[in-house]
Amino acid sequence: MIDELRSYKIVPGGLADYLETAEEVAIPFRGDNYGKLLGFWFGEVGAVNSVFNLWQHQDLNTRQALRAELQKQEVWRTQYLPHAHPLMQQQFVRLMTPAVPFCAPVERGNIYEVRFIRTKTGKAQEFISRFRTGLPADYQAATVGLWTTLAGHLNEVVHISACRDVAARLRRSLQHPEWRHFLAEHGSLVEEIESSLMIPANHSPLQ
């Protein structure tokens, strides 16, 4: 499987309009016919005025064929793109290989965090191996997905996790000695970490 994380920077003041267009036009039309939708979020802390959507594809060739077919569809060309494109400042696509099976939370009402962990050149696989085995148990339980990138930023590990609220997320880092120990031991493999808290959109399969 190949997973695709698409992120859009939305013009200030345009986020509600974009989410409405996605909910009322794009997602009902697409369904899972052009890739399976795993999650759809908007950034609340970190990447403000941003949208993230995560799709699953059988392989790269299937993804390319479905994207080409989608661009031919009249609903997509005339009802979605003319409304969505003026609201977008930037688009970015990460094609990713799963390092652990995708795991949706059992409970609803979560907020989510995406971490983009850029490793030193050639160190992504080593870091992700240590990440999989060295994370504290509650971090592992909160993990929704863990990937290495094929395209987009290279030498990057992408981690999405779920938490009940912002306070719980902060406690996980600030009060967890095992996490601090993990960073102290393996932080030399990392160049930079970016993090954003994400809220599920109404039409997101993950809530």
Q: Residue 190: give its domain's CATH number.
A: 3.30.70.100
Question: What pLDDT does residue 77 have?
Answer: 94
Q: Is 72 in the same domain as 106?
A: no
Q: Tell me: the pLDDT tens digits for 54-85?
A: 999 999 999 999 999 999 999 999 999 999 99
Nearest in space to 187 (alpha carbons), one of 195, 179, 196: 179
104, 54 in Cβ contact below 8 A? no
| DSSP letter (8 states) at residue 176 | -
Domain-embedded: residue 206: no
Q: Which two tokens stand for residue 207?
A: 């809530």
Answer for the pair 10, 49: CB distance below 8 angstroms, yes or no. yes
Number of CB atoms found within 10 A of residue 87's CB: 20
**109 and 137, same domain (yes or no):** yes
Same-domain pairing of 118 and 190: yes
Closest C-alpha to 156, from 91, 92, 65: 92
| Angle, CA 204 vertex, CA 199 and CA 205 arms, to 5° | 125
* % of the chain residues with pLDDT over 70: 97
pTM of the predicted model as reported, rounded to 2 decimal places: 0.89
Tally the domains of the chain. 2
pLDDT of residue 18: 96
Residues 157-199: tens digit of each pLDDT: 999 999 887 777 776 666 667 777 777 788 888 889 898 999 9
